[in-house]
């Protein structure tokens, strides 16, 4: 990767339709600590993707093996925690340019080497990846046909993770952080042609820990009249104590089909 | 036979072989044989004709004298027709008689027969038209025959003839003298007696003659045809005469029998009366006799007593007896009159009745009862009936009397108005009747003698009135329509039929593309093609036939149409005029005292729609105000009316509530809802019911945003449901096609 100045891996799923025709591309951004493998192996999206004829690309969550000091120190900053920003601070700014990588370099690569329809792209992700999907969409109106997220970090400047990461990559000027905050970006989003689907596990510990802050995002969208359907998922069953969904891939796997359908509606329209 | 016979035969067939063929092949055969000789002999005759004027008288004499010649005439008669020798008709009288002899004679040879018979027929045919001509012909023929006979009668003459013939062979006849009606030589025309006569070329003369004969033949054929027709007609008349005879015979028999019976009866009566009279007389006389006898006895007794007394010697005793009052006794009148006469009354047998009977022999009897026909198909319309009957006897009828009245099951059936019509024909069309009603008809025949007994009563029924389709209650979807209607008649009809026509762009207008018959009730579910328009109408049927078509209704299969079921509306829910807007003004206590119907919601201020019970996809939209709190979705028909939509397992709905901070949305079923936030409050909600995929989906139709999907395998067909929880309005839009963005 030229952007990240290291070797990057990505996962890609090609549906049967790709053998004969060009297919739209759906980009999945994984969350903290994930690699390009997690989604491919755990999410169980293949059938839905095949059914709707979508190519799914799952890049890694950060540059790897850059030998930057402190990159492996914590699980929520550095390796596996790229936060989909273009870092401006040293020693990160050389390699940690996930934003540009996802926005430009990767699509170019994919389009050059696979039977893609370059006009049709959508993006979604989980947790940090959800945050990444949201900000990439909000910062590039019209680039993505649709966006959705699982338990995204909606308001990073307000939560611990965000503060840590954004501070580390972008410096202490909070105003610079706003450019990578979905909630903030929504407030100044130029139009309202968006249809955002967000699934959130009710028993997600990070939700209760205040790391995700969907309410803020929802409030902002409501204010801006950006259409969002936000589903707080909990299990329906006979048990008296409701078991909600958590932050794991099981949660993702349960609802991935709805998300694929959501994207297919726009990608195949 | 006669050698002259041969001679004659040669002369017979001269120059008209064609004609001869018309009269028989045998003639032709002969002609050919003879033709060679013909011309020769003809010249002969021509010459002879001219020279023989003087000899005609001689011939006539001979002919008149010689009755035996008649036979010869027979033999040769048939051929004369063919001979073209035409003699001046100088001896009409004799010729006429000869002609008639001719006609009477019969020929023996086949050829002669034919020609003879044709001649005979021809003549009568010609007679009216051209008597003179025919007579002339007859004369001519007769005379030519004479001539020929003359030639034949004596051998010597024939020899002379022959010698003459030989000498004059060279000059042939080549023109025809129309005046003398005989072929002549041109030379003769110029120099002979014919020089002032009209002539024509022989061939053309021949043609003319042929034409004439042909015409006569045609007339002959006509006559034959006429006679044949007449003959067959006569045969028919034979039969009719027999029939009439039979009928009349029967008639007489009946009448005479009646008369005889009456006579016999009268005789008996009179006889009895006579007997009675005799008895009475005898009784009276006997009575008289008895009383006479009594009196006599009394007198005798007195006499005896008196005599005895007179013999009494004792004078004193004699004077004592004064007991008997003699004066009084003698005074008593003795009735010596006969109480009754021996003569009997004059009795006359009253023949008047018999006379009457005899007189009525020729009067026409009153007719027999006609037979009324059962109702034919197509005899009825909604307001008229064509009634037919027949008379199965030969009675004379002047007119018929048709009576009818409506059939009623009610008690006062006898009070129904009865109508009577006078009809000349054996059929009648009655109008101004009520539809789908039975009428009883009976008919009598009338003539001068009186009226027949009435026929049996036949019941006819008018066709029904066309039904009325309930347009407001039509429900349809892309693939079917549910149509219901009302009957306009009081009484039930037998069945209904529905006619559909698909509207196409062509000018042909309504082509009935489908008919559905035998519908027992007032509704039908029809399968249709998507994205088409149809005209649908209904007819009612009964025994009388089918009604006129109802007013048609237009159905578009572009989407799903349903109407609201007013019966289910909560009392506080008002349906506005367009039928698709519901409103609630105030929220009094929902369980108030307003009148509640069995089928209406009592707590939830809601209403059900009536969706066509048909599989597939159904889509409709609801337009809401921002501040309206509502529940919209679907429910089973039997969802509890005391419950709230979504609170039970027979209903699924999207609920909108407004909290101070935000819009809250719930997707309720069995009282449970997922936790869903929607940032943009939908104003126009699209609802897609997909039976096939077991889904009920809600959309923000304005931005094509998917909101929520219930996944449920619906066990029964559902209806749309709508409820208001705050004062407000819901506008329902049906008939929209399923939008493409709903496809998932």
Tell me the pairing of strands A147-150 and A116-126: parallel
Question: Do both B355 and B233 map to the same domain?
Answer: yes
In the stretch 186-225 of chain A, residues with CB closer than 8 A to chain B read 192, 195, 197, 202, 218, 221-222, 225
CATH number at residue B618: 2.60.120.920
In a domain, B149, yes or no: no
The answer to whether the beta carbons of residues A158 and A145 sit under 8 Å apart is no
Which residues have a Cβ under 8 Å from the Cβ of B361 and sit 6 or more positions away? B251, B252, B255, B256
Q: Using the predicted structure, report yes or no on whether residue A29 has a pLDDT greater than 80.
A: yes
Category of B275 on φ-ψ map: left (φ > 0), alpha (ψ -120 to 50) or beta: alpha
Q: Does B80 map to a domain? A: no
Q: Are strands B450-451 and B458-461 parallel, antiparallel or unpaired?
A: unpaired
Among the partner residues B676, B679, B744, nearest to A227 by beta-carbon distance: B679
A204 is catalytic: yes
Q: What is the pLDDT at residue B322?
A: 60
The residue from B300, B327, B362 where one domain ends is B362
User: What is the distance in angstroms between the Cα of A84 and the nearest Cα belonging to chain B?
Assistant: 26
- Tell me, yes or no, whether B641 lies in a domain: yes
Q: Which helix H or strand E contains B131, and what residues bound it?
A: helix B110-153
Q: Do A229 and B744 touch (CB under 8 A)?
A: no
B265 token code pair? 């009866």
Mutation site, A203, A225, A226, A229, interface B, largest B CB count within 10 A? A229
Kindly report the nearest CA distance between residue B604 and chain A, in angstroms.
Answer: 26
Does residue B573 sit in the same domain as residue B660?
yes
From B679, which residue of chain A is nearest by alpha-carbon distance? Answer: A222
Q: Is B271 helix (H, G, I), strand (E, B) or coil?
A: helix
Q: What is the pLDDT of residue B510?
A: 58
Query: What is the residue whose two structure tokens read 């009577």?
Result: B420
- Provide, as residue numbers in chain A, all residues whose Cβ is less than 8 Å from the Cβ of B674: 231-234
Shared-domain flag, residues B571 and B671: yes
Q: Is the CB of A234 less than 8 angstroms away from the CB of B678?
A: no
> Is residue B709 included in any domain, yes or no?
yes
Query: What is the average per-residue pLDDT within A221-239?
Result: 77
Chain B residues with CB under 8 Å of A233 CB are 674-675
For chain B, what is the domain count? 4
The Cα A229–Cα B665 span in angstroms is 11
Query: Is A100 marked active-site?
Result: no
- Given B325, B342, B362, the domain boundary residue is B362
Give the list of residues 6+ apart from residue A152 with CB closer than 8 angstroms, or none. Answer: A125, A126, A127, A129, A130, A131, A133, A134, A182, A198, A212, A214, A217
- Within B320-407, strands assigned E span 371-372, 385-390, 399-406
Q: What per-residue confidence (pLDDT) applies to A92?
A: 84
Strands A116-126 and A23-29: parallel
Shortest Cα distance, chain A CAs vs residue B627, angstroms:
15
User: pTM, whole model, 2 decimals?
Assistant: 0.63
End position of a domain, from candidates B531, B557, B583: B557
CATH of the domain at B492: 2.60.40.10
- Rounded to 10°, the helix B69-80/B110-153 angle is 120
B663/chain A closest Cα distance in angstroms? 10
CB B582 within 8 A of CB B724: yes
Alpha-carbon span B620 to B627, nearest angstrom: 21
Distances (CA, A) of B152 to B6, B15, B139, B155: 9, 21, 19, 7
With b for 16 or more beta-carbon neighbours within 10 A and e for fewer, the B271-286 pattern comes to eeeeeeeeeebeeeee
Chain A hits for B740, Cβ within 8 Å: 269
pLDDT digits (tens, 9 = 90+) for A178-207: 888 999 999 888 876 888 999 988 878 888
Interface check A234 vs B, CB under 8 A: yes
Residues B613, B494: one domain?
A: no
Of B676, B705, B743, the CB nearest to A230: B676
Strand A55-59 to A23-29 pairing: parallel
pLDDT of res. B506: 65
Rounded to an integer, what distance in angstroms lies between the CA atom of residue A254 and that of residue A24? 23
**What length is written for chain B?**
744
Nearest CA among A12, A158, A168 for reference residue A88: A168
> Which one of A1, A62, A127, A146 is the catalytic residue?
A127
Instruction: Pick left, alpha or beta for residue A53 (phi over 0 → left; psi -120 to 50 → alpha; otherwise beta).
Output: left
Q: Is B628 within a domain?
A: yes
- The DSSP result for B88-123, as a single string, is ----HHHHHHHHHHHHH----SHHHHHHHHHHHHHH
Contact B703 A195 (CB under 8 A): yes
pLDDT for res B613: 93
Domain check: are B621 and B711 in the same one? yes
Nearest chain B residue to A231 by CA distance is B676
- For the domain A10-268, what is the CATH superfamily, name and number? Alpha/Beta hydrolase fold, catalytic domain (3.40.50.1820)
Domain regions of chain A by residue span: 10-268
pLDDT for B355 equals 78
Share of chain B above pLDDT 70, in %: 70
Q: Which residue of B has its CA nearest to A218?
A: B679
> Exposed, middle or buried by CB within 10 Å (0-12, 13-18, 19+), for B449?
middle
CA of A261: which chain B residue's CA is closest?
B744
Q: Tell me, yes or no, whether B324 lies in a domain.
A: yes
**How far apart, in whole angstroms, are the C-alpha atoms of residue A178 and residue A161?**
14
Check whether the bond before A91 is cis (ω within 30° of 0). Answer: yes
Helix, strand, coil in percent for chain B, rounding step 5:
40, 25, 35
Range of the domain at B631: 566-742
H/E stretch holding A166 reads helix A160-170
Calculate mean pLDDT across residues A6-18: 89
B697 within a domain of the structure (yes/no): yes
Size of interface A-B (CB pairs under 8 A): 60
The minimal CB distance from B676 to the residues A231, A236, A264 is found for: A231
Kindly state whether A230 is in contact with chain B, defined as any CB-CB distance less than 8 angstroms: yes
Judged by CB atoms closer than 8 Å, whether chains meet at B703 and A227 is answered as: yes
Please tell me whether residues B484 and B444 are part of one structural domain.
no
On whether both B503 and B595 belong to a single domain, the answer is no
In a domain, residue B426? The reply is: yes
Task: For chain A, give the mean pLDDT.
Answer: 86
Tell me: the pLDDT tens digits for A203-216?
A: 788 888 888 888 89
Percent of chain B with pLDDT over 90: 26
Please check whether residue A120 touches B, CB under 8 A. no
Q: Find the Cα–Cα–Cα–Cα dihedral B133, B135, B138, B144, rounded to 10°.
A: -70
Tokens of B269: 């009566």
Q: What HEC string does B662-725 produce?
A: CEEEEEEECCECCEEEECCCCCEEEEEEECCCCEEEEEECCCCEEEEEEECCCCCCEEEEEEEC
ipTM: 0.87
Vertex A253 angle, CA B701 and A142, to 5°: 45
Cα dihedral B419, B421, B427, B433 in deg (nearest 10) = -40
Search chain A and give the residue with CA nearest B699. A229
Question: Which of chain B's residues have a Cβ under 8 Å away from the Cβ of A202?
Answer: 675
Measured between beta carbons, which residues in chain A are less than 8 angstroms from residue B672? 236
- The list of chain B residues with pLDDT below 70 reads 1-173, 188-189, 192, 194-195, 317-318, 320-325, 334-335, 349, 361-363, 410-416, 505-512, 587-596, 744
Largest Cα–Cα distance of chain A, in whole Å? 54
A227, two tokens: 């259409």
Contacts of A195 in chain B (CB under 8 A): 703-706
- Chain B CB contacts of A222 below 8 Å: 662, 679-680
For A236, which of B672, B707, B708 is closest by C-beta distance? B672
Q: How far apart are CA B48 and CA B59, in angstroms?
A: 13
The confidence score (pLDDT) of residue B134 equals 45
> By C-alpha distance, which of B74, B86, B99 is closest to B8?
B74
Closest residue in B to A215 (Cα) is: B677
Which residues of chain B make contact with A226, given a CB cutoff of 8 A?
A: 679-680
Say which residues have a Cβ less than 8 Å from residue A23's Cβ, sequence separation at least 6.
A14, A15, A17, A53, A54, A55, A115, A116, A117
Asked if A232 and B679 come within 8 Å (Cβ–Cβ), the reply is no
Q: Which of A60, A86, A199, A204 is catalytic?
A: A204
Q: Does A231 touch chain B (CB under 8 A)?
A: yes
- For residue B594, the model assigns a pLDDT of 63
Are residues B443 and B327 both part of a single domain?
A: no
**C-alpha to C-alpha distances, B426 to B430, B438, B443, nearest whole angstrom:** 13, 21, 10
Asked if A134 and A147 count as a contact pair (C-beta separation under 8 A), the reply is yes
**pLDDT average, residue stretch A79-97:** 86
Catalytic annotation present for A126: no
Residues B477 and B606 grouped into a single domain: no
Rounded to the nearest angstrom, the minimum Cα separation between B688 and chain A is: 16
A261 CB within 8 Å of a chain B CB: yes
Query: If you average pLDDT over residues A31-43, what whole number do you get?
Result: 81
Block residue for tokens 């009866």: B265
* Residue B325 and residue B383 share a domain: no
Alpha carbon distance A213, A182 (integer Å): 11
């Amino acid at each position: 990767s030229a952007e990240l100045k290291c070797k990057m891996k990505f996962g890609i799923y090609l549906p049967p339709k790709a053998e004969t025709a060009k297919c739209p591309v759906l980009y999945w951004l994984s969350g903290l600590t994930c690699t390009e493998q997690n989604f491919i192996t755990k999410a169980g999206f293949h059938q839905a993707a095949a059914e709707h004829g979508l190519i799914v690309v799952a890049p890694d969550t950060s540059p790897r093996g850059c030998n930057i000091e402190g990159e492996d120190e914590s699980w929520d900053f550095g390796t596996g925690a790229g936060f989909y920003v273009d870092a401006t601070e040293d020693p990160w700014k050389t390699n940690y340019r996930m934003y540009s990588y996802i926005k430009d370099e990767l699509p170019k690569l994919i389009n050059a080497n696979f039977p893609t329809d370059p006009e049709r792209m959508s993006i979604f992700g989980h947790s940090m990846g959800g945050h990444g999907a949201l900000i990439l969409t909000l910062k590039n109106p019209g680039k993505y046909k649709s966006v959705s997220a699982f338990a995204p970090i909606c308001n990073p400047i307000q939560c611990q993770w965000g503060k840590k990461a954004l501070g580390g990559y972008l410096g202490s000027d909070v105003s610079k952080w706003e450019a990578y905050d979905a909630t903030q970006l929504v407030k100044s989003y130029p139009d309202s042609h968006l249809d955002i689907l967000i699934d959130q596990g009710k028993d997600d510990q990070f939700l209760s820990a205040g790391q995700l802050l969907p309410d803020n995002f929802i409030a902002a969208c409501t204010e801006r009249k950006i259409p969002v359907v936000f589903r707080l998922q909990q299990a329906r069953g006979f048990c008296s104590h409701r078991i909600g969904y958590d932050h794991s891939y099981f949660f993702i796997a349960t609802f991935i089909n709805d998300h694929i359908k959501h994207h297919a509606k726009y990608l195949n329209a | 036979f006669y050698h002259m016979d041969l001679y004659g035969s040669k002369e017979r067939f001269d120059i008209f072989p064609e004609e001869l063929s018309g009269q028989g092949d045998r003639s032709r055969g002969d002609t050919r044989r003879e033709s060679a000789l013909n011309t020769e002999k003809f010249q002969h005759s021509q010459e002879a004709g001219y020279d023989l004027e003087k000899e005609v008288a001689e011939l006539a004499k001979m002919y008149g004298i010689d009755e035996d010649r008649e036979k010869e005439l027979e033999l040769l008669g048939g051929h004369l027709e063919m001979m073209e020798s035409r003699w001046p008709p100088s001896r009409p009288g004799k010729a006429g008689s000869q002609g008639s002899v001719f006609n009477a004679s019969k020929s023996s040879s086949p050829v002669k027969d034919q020609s003879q018979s044709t001649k005979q027929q021809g003549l009568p045919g010609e007679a009216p038209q051209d008597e003179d001509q025919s007579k002339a012909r007859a004369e001519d023929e007769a005379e030519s025959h004479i001539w020929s006979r003359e030639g034949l009668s004596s051998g010597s003459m024939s020899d002379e003839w022959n010698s003459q013939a030989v000498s004059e062979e060279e000059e042939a006849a080549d023109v025809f003298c129309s005046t003398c009606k005989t072929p002549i030589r041109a030379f003769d025309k110029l120099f002979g007696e014919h020089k002032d006569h009209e002539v024509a070329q022989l061939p053309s003369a021949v043609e003319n003659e042929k034409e004439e004969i042909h015409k006569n033949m045609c007339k002959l054929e006509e006559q034959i045809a006429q006679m044949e027709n007449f003959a067959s007609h006569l045969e028919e008349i034979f039969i009719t005469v027999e029939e009439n005879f039979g009928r009349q015979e029967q008639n007489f028999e009946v009448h005479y029998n009646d008369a005889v019976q009456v006579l016999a009866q009268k005789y008996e009566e009179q006889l009895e009366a006579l007997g009675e009279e005799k008895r009475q007389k005898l009784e009276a006389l006997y009575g008289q006799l008895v009383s006479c006898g009594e009196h006599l006895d009394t007198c005798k007794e007195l006499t005896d007593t008196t005599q005895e007394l007179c013999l009494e010697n004792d004078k004193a005793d004699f004077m004592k007896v004064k007991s008997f009052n003699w004066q009084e006794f003698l005074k008593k009148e003795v009735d010596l009159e006969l109480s009754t006469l021996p003569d009997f009354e004059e009795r006359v047998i009253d023949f008047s009745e018999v006379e009457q009977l005899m007189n009525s022999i020729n009067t026409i009897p009153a007719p027999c009862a006609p037979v009324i026909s059962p109702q034919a198909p197509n005899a009825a319309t909604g307001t008229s009936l064509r009634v037919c009957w027949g008379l199965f006897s030969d009675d004379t009828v002047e007119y018929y009397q048709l009576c009818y009245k409506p059939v009623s099951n009610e008690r006062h059936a006898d009070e129904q108005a009865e109508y009577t019509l006078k009809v000349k024909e054996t059929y009648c069309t009655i109008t101004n009747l009520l539809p789908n009603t039975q009428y009883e008809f009976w008919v009598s025949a009338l003539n001068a003698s009186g009226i027949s007994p009435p026929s049996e009563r036949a019941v006819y029924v008018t066709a029904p009135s066309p039904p009325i389709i309930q347009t407001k209650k039509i429900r349809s979807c892309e693939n079917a329509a549910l149509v219901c209607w009302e009957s306009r008649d009081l009484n039930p009809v037998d069945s209904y039929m529905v006619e559909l026509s698909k509207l196409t762009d062509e000018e042909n207008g309504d082509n009935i593309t489908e008919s559905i018959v035998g519908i027992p009730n007032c509704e039908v579910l029809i399968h249709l093609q998507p994205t088409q328009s149809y005209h649908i109408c209904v007819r009612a049927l009964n025994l009388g036939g089918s009604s006129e078509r109802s007013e048609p209704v237009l159905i578009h299969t572009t989407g799903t149409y349903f109407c609201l079921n007013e019966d289910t509306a909560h009392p506080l829910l008002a349906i506005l005029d367009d039928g698709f807007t519901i409103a609630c003004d105030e929220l009094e206590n929902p369980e108030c005292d307003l009148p509640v119907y069995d089928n209406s919601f009592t707590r939830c201020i809601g209403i059900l729609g009536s969706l066509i019970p048909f599989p597939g996809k159904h889509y409709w939209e609801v337009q809401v105000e921002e501040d309206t709190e509502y529940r919209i979705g679907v429910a089973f028909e039997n969802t509890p009316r005391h419950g709230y939509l979504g609170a039970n397992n027979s209903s699924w709905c999207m609920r909108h509530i407004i909290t101070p901070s935000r819009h809250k949305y719930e997707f309720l079923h069995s009282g449970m809802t997922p936790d869903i936030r929607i940032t943009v409050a939908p104003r126009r909600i699209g609802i897609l019911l997909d039976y096939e995929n077991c889904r009920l989906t809600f959309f923000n139709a304005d931005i094509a945003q998917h909101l929520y999907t219930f996944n449920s395998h619906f066990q029964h067909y559902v209806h749309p449901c709508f409820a208001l929880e705050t004062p407000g309005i819901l506008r329902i839009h049906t008939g929209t096609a399923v939008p493409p963005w709903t496809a998932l």
